[in-house]
Amino acid sequence: MKRFTFASAAIASAIALPIVLQAARPHYGGTLRIEMPGVIRTFDPVASSVDAAESAARARVLPLVFETLVAADASGGLRPQLATSWEGDRAGQRWRFRIRDAVTLHDGSRLQPAQVAAALRARGRAWKVGVDSDVVVIDPDRAQPDFPWEMADARNAIAIRTATGDLVGSGPFRLEPTEPRRIALGAHEDYWGSRPFVDAVQIAEGRALGDALASLELGRADFVPVRPLDLRRLVQRGLRSVGSRPLETFVLVFEPHRATPSDQLVRRVVATAIDRATLSTVLLQRQSEAAAALLPPWLSGYAPMFQSVSPLSGSAPARTAVASLPPERRALTLRVDAADPLAQAIAERIAVDVREAGITIKVQAPAGLAPRPDVRLLRLTFDATTPDRVLAAIVGTLGARVTSLATNEPAPGAGAPLDAVYRMERALVERDVIVPVVHLPALYGLGERVESWGGPAVWPSGAWNLANMWLRSEPLAEKPEKPHGPDR
């Protein structure tokens, strides 16, 4: 009997193994279907975005078409892209980028260093851009030791304008004729990094996250952005998720009338009463990190130094002090974006935590006009780049009106030293006018037939690795036995 069983198992394994191998081997072909909330109005990398959703969409889609000279890698450093190598002088005032040979543009022509220089000059920056053989030489307007990070910015992607006025790139996908609210990308057959596995990518724009998730569940989409709240739902349906490193920070920002010294106690209690650990662990399904600073630890490296700033956290003296305040001083109106369910969920949890500390928070998610709030919950989104650039972007997003309530120190510019960034960030959060809550990654749900080869579907920097994604001809026969978190 045992011999029979063993023989049967061996035969079955002999039959199943080729099938499994066949299934695991990347396939060319197919159309990858993506749905996302943003709507891209123009593909010119230089153009500005109308709103945050378009900005996020452009940050992910444009690099598929237009490549930068360098790009952020999985470890937080830079990797070659159109430039195979780069070097700068000691002062960081002149940088030389050696352009990759044999890069074919989407119109079939070869990318020339002169075209790269012309494209960079067209950015309108005060850079001096020259060409030396296969090297593009750039003299920034000031000394920038980390200038290559500037070149990794998607806004500095190389887009070549043809004689007809069209923009062509060198990325793994080329732009196909588009329809309203639908982007069509075709595989770039001559891509220098090898042809993408899929033949085409169709991106449905302007899709609500809930609708996109439903499309993923119904097999109508292969790759959609998801919220941490949706991860369990994906798991229950046997779908996988993938995420970046934290690229967003939720912060509370007090309005000027509650940013006064007399409200310091209330702000302090609010800042310390938030149970960030439970918020991250439970509500955000372990996909987030408790935030004590504006920049996530993986970007700044100094975040642990902010952990000790909670002397009044949940303490009885603080509660007693708060209880002695007039009721109107203990009541806050927290405004969140009505179109952001995740922000609303976080706000509700903050309200529960703060309520335990004796402060009442009324969450307000107005669709139109509403009474003046006391505090806002903002979602700060940034790119995977250097701390100085991230902080500069955050300060830019918050605006001078908010930052001036927190500190009078000038915001450090790009290339500022890390200690200056630290001091500035410390100053921003010190008065609790700006209260970091959690850092969140960009999360995506993957369809049943989606596989990736040579790396995750989404890089830690948040970039889409669509060139390495391939599609199974048949979905997996079995669901995963055990829920698991997103691939990193």
Partner 1 sequence: MTLRTRLFALVSAAVTVTVVLVTSAVSSSARRAFAALDAQRTAALVAQFRREFEIDGEQIAAGIERLASSDAVLHTAGDLARSRAARAAYVNEATSLAAAQGLDILDLVTDEGTIVSSAQWPARFGYRHSWATAAAAAAGAFLQPVELPGETALGLVAVRKVAAGDGGLFVAGGRRLDRSFLQTLAPPAGTRALLYLNLEPAGSGHQLIDASGRVAQAAPLAPLIARVRESGREASDAIDWPEGSETVTAIPLKGRDGSVLGALLVGSSGRELAALVSRIRWSGVTFGALGLASGFLLSYIVAARVTRPVEQLAESSRTVARGDWDAALDAVPRVHASGEIEELARAFETMTRQLVDQRERLIQTERVAAWRELARRLAHELKNPLFPLRVTIDNLRRAKTLASAEFDEVFDESLTTMTSGLQNLNTVIGRFSDFARMPPPQFAAVSPNDIARESVRLFRAQLDAPGRPAIALTVDLDESLGTVRADAEQLGRAMQNLLLNAIDAMPSGGELAIRTRRAAGAVRIDVSDTGEGLTDEERQRLFTPYYTTKQHGTGLGLAIVQSVVADHGGKIWVDSERGRGATFHIEIPETQG
Rank residues 233 and 472 by Cβ distance to partner 1 and give the closer one: 233
Strands 135-139 and 95-99: antiparallel
Please, which of residues 242-271 interact with partner 1 by CB under 8 A?
none
Among residues 57, 152, 259, 283, which is the contact residue for partner 1, using CB under 8 A? 283
Q: How far is the CB of 347 from partner 1 (least distance, A)?
A: 8
Contacts of 63 (CB under 8 A, 6+ apart): 71, 154, 157, 171, 463, 464
Which residues 469-488 are close enough to bind partner 1 by CB under 8 A?
483
The rounded distance, in Å, linking the Cα atoms of 141 and 163 is 30
204: contact with partner 1 by CB under 8 A: no
Taking the complex as a whole, the smallest distance from the CB of residue 60 to partner 1 amounts, in Å, to: 27
What are 254's strand-pairing partners? 375
- CB under 8 A: which stretch of 40-48, 87-95, 148-156, 283-291 binds partner 1? 283-291
Binding flag, residue 237, partner 1 (CB under 8 A): no
Which tokens sit at 48?
Answer: 């500005």
Q: Which residue in the set 39, 74, 184, 229 belongs to the binding site for partner 1 (CB under 8 A)?
A: 229
Asked if residue 281 binds partner 1 (CB under 8 A), the reply is yes
Q: What is the DSSP letter of 47?
A: S
HEC-encoded secondary structure of 12-74: HHHHHHHHHHHHHCCCCCCEEEEECCCCCCCCCCCCCCCCHHHHHHHHHHHHHHCCCCEEECC
Place of tokens 């369910």: 341
- Pick the stretch among 63-71, 122-130, 282-290, 295-303 that binds partner 1 (CB under 8 A): 282-290
Cβ partners under 8 Å of residue 404, min gap 6: none
- 165 CB-near residues (< 8 Å, 6+ apart): none
C-alpha to C-alpha distance for 461 and 178, rounded to whole angstroms: 27
Please state, in angstroms and as integers, the Cα–Cα distance from residue 281 to each residue in 208, 274, 287, 290, 431, following that order: 25, 13, 7, 9, 27
Of the ranges 65-73, 299-307, 342-350, 403-411, which one interacts with partner 1 (CB under 8 A)?
342-350
Among 217, 263, 275, 383, binds partner 1 (CB under 8 A): 275
65/332 with CB nearer partner 1: 332
CB of 435 to partner 1, least distance (A): 17
In whole angstroms, how large is the CA radius of gyration of the chain? 25
Strand partners, 87: 96
Q: Name the token pair of 341.
A: 């369910």
CA–CA separation, 488 and 486 (whole Å): 6
Site for partner 1 contains 440 (CB under 8 A) = no
Considering only residues 50, 122, 282, 370, which one is a binding residue for partner 1 as defined by CB under 8 A? 282
By CB under 8 A, tell whether 142 contacts partner 1: no
From the centroid of its chain, how far is CA 34?
A: 17
Strand partners, 290: 438
- Alpha carbons 308 and 302: distance in angstroms, whole number: 12
Closer to partner 1 by Cβ: residue 455 or 483: 483
Joined tokens for residue 72: 């952020």
Q: Which residue has the tokens 């022509």?
A: 109
Cα gap 100→362, rounded to integer Å = 56
Judged by CB under 8 A, how many residues of this single chain contact partner 1? 19
Q: Does 318 bind partner 1 (CB under 8 A)?
A: no
State the minimum distance, in angstroms, from the CB of residue 239 to partner 1. 15
Identity of the residue, 287 or 461, whose beta carbon is nearer to partner 1 in the bound complex: 287
One of 278, 310, 315, 404 touching partner 1 (CB under 8 A): 278
Answer for the pair 332, 257: CB distance below 8 angstroms, yes or no: no
Q: How far is the CB of 456 from partner 1 (least distance, A)?
A: 23
Q: What x-and-dash track marks residues 345-384 binding partner 1 by CB under 8 A?
A: x--xx-xx---x-----xx---------------------
Binding-site member from 68, 244, 285, 468 for partner 1 (CB under 8 A): 285
- The contact set with partner 1 (CB under 8 A) reads 229, 232, 235, 275, 278, 281-283, 285-286, 345, 348-349, 351-352, 356, 362-363, 483
